[in-house]
Chains A and B, each alone.
Chain A
């Protein structure tokens, strides 16, 4: 359980990260929190020849609002995002999901960007990014690139980030309507463990109380977090009754591809994913109506 030998460089600016990446090719990896990369290296599932430590890059840390987006810099610690009033008041769905990311000790090191680039199928942050149509900004010596998250998350533990690119920030759209609510549910073996299945939803109701806009996605049941567009299409315009939600979520069986492991078989994960999706939508409806805090 010891990593293979590697070289190490500590950098202090994004330009420096990009230059080192451009010079060293695919053998280099960025390390921020290291909460995923260090175990992968210990198990020798990853063997980079060079680690680029970005923990001193202050321009990669921070949370702000830019127009209609909540902008989180890639190196922002998960614990700082969880404690942020800016996150909580603008994208409460993300704040809620962050409390399920690992536990205190890993959130103190783990970063928001690190979770996105690692793209674990059951990870909460990529799931929320997928739910809300987040936009990823990456930089290389070739310039900046803006990537919609559904083009960024490719598969399990794989993104479309090029080897010479550094993730700079993620933009989470803020839903301005007051009649907006969110829901987040997950099932895991223990609190703070990887989710067997998770679901996130956000809804805006119109003045009549009907569904004007609905985004819903599930994690842990497919190679990457998956938007449930058929559920969204079926429920927009309805009053989001419990039975309609349940019937819509029953149709996602064909879309998902849950994998079996020692903790849960594929059929169970699939079944849980449907139930989580339904509960997330119900909670988002109830929060939009103000009947759930």
Chain B
């Protein structure tokens, strides 16, 4: 089975690597491109830890083969930080609200709620819970995650 050369845009930078057809996008990001912020949980699309932004929309990177991402644009959790490496307002609110316990689900939660806020700057609680409906937190710390998103939305509204 042949290897493919894969070129894609990750966090605004064009990157290339090699992978067999069967290598999932999350394995490619972590093992080939060295971007280990995206976590691997269940590897079959249930937990959401591997969520990334593909062409502007949140998707599971364990449910795509890397070769399918050729030419596409991806944002991983590493891409959320500010230009000087500072935490984004959302990441800061996760920190502020202690919206994590073990932290394993956090990259996926950040991606899911980041894309929510891009599309909907003023989500209600139900919309926030719907947006993280595909992301499991086994520490069950959902309440603080919801509060972090609410705080971010409020801060962003006040800033504009």
Cβ contacts B34-75/A at 8 Å (1 or 0 each): 000000001111001001001001111011110110100000
Also in contact, A190 and B60, with CB within 8 A (given A1-B43, A55-B68): no
- On chain A, the residues within 8 Å of B21 by CB distance are 5-8, 51
Question: Bound state CA distance, A106 and B45, in angstroms?
Answer: 8
Interface SS of chain A: loop
Question: Bound state CA distance, A102 and B58, in angstroms?
Answer: 13
- On chain B, the residues within 8 Å of A105 by CB distance are 48, 51, 58-60, 112, 134
Question: Bound state CA distance, A108 and B61, in angstroms?
Answer: 12
Also in contact, A109 and B133, with CB within 8 A (given A2-B22, A4-B22, A5-B20): no
- On chain B, the residues within 8 Å of A34 by CB distance are 63-65, 68
Asked if B130 is an interface residue, CB under 8 A from chain A, the answer is yes
Asked if A11 is an interface residue, CB under 8 A from chain B, the answer is no
Contact of B134 among A8, A53, A104 (CB under 8 A): A104
Asked if B143 is an interface residue, CB under 8 A from chain A, the answer is no
Question: Bound state CA distance, A238 and B45, in angstroms?
Answer: 45
Inter-subunit contact B64/A109 (CB<8 Å): yes
In B1-40, the 8 Å CB interface with A consists of 1-2, 4, 20-22, 24
In A179-230, the 8 Å CB interface with B consists of 190-192
- On chain B, the residues within 8 Å of A55 by CB distance are 68
- On chain B, the residues within 8 Å of A53 by CB distance are 67-68
Contact of A108 among B1, B22, B44, B59 (CB under 8 A): B59
Contact of A79 among B57, B65, B70 (CB under 8 A): B57
Inter-subunit contact B57/A1 (CB<8 Å): no
Inter-subunit contact A39/B45 (CB<8 Å): yes
Inter-subunit contact A192/B44 (CB<8 Å): no
Inter-subunit contact A39/B63 (CB<8 Å): yes
Contact of A103 among B1, B43, B57, B133 (CB under 8 A): B133
Chain B residues bordering chain A, tally (CB within 8 A): 30
Give, as a whole number of angstroms, the nearest-CB distance from B36 to chain A: 18
Contact of A8 among B58, B65, B131 (CB under 8 A): B65
Inter-subunit contact A7/B1 (CB<8 Å): yes
Chain B residue nearest in CB terms to A33? B63
Give, as a whole number of angstroms, the nearest-CB distance from A96 to chain B: 15
Also in contact, A38 and B4, with CB within 8 A (given A103-B134, A109-B63, A190-B133): no
Chain B residue nearest in CB terms to A43? B44
Question: Bound state CA distance, A35 and B60, in angstroms?
Answer: 9
Inter-subunit contact B43/A8 (CB<8 Å): no
Report which B residues bind A (CB closer than 8 A): 1-2, 4, 20-22, 24, 42-45, 48, 51, 54, 57-60, 62-65, 67-68, 70, 112, 130-131, 133-134
Q: Contacts A3-B22, A31-B68, A35-B63 known; list 17 others, CB within 8 Å.
A: A1-B42, A5-B22, A6-B21, A7-B1, A10-B68, A51-B21, A51-B65, A53-B68, A55-B68, A103-B133, A104-B134, A105-B59, A105-B134, A106-B63, A108-B59, A191-B130, A191-B133
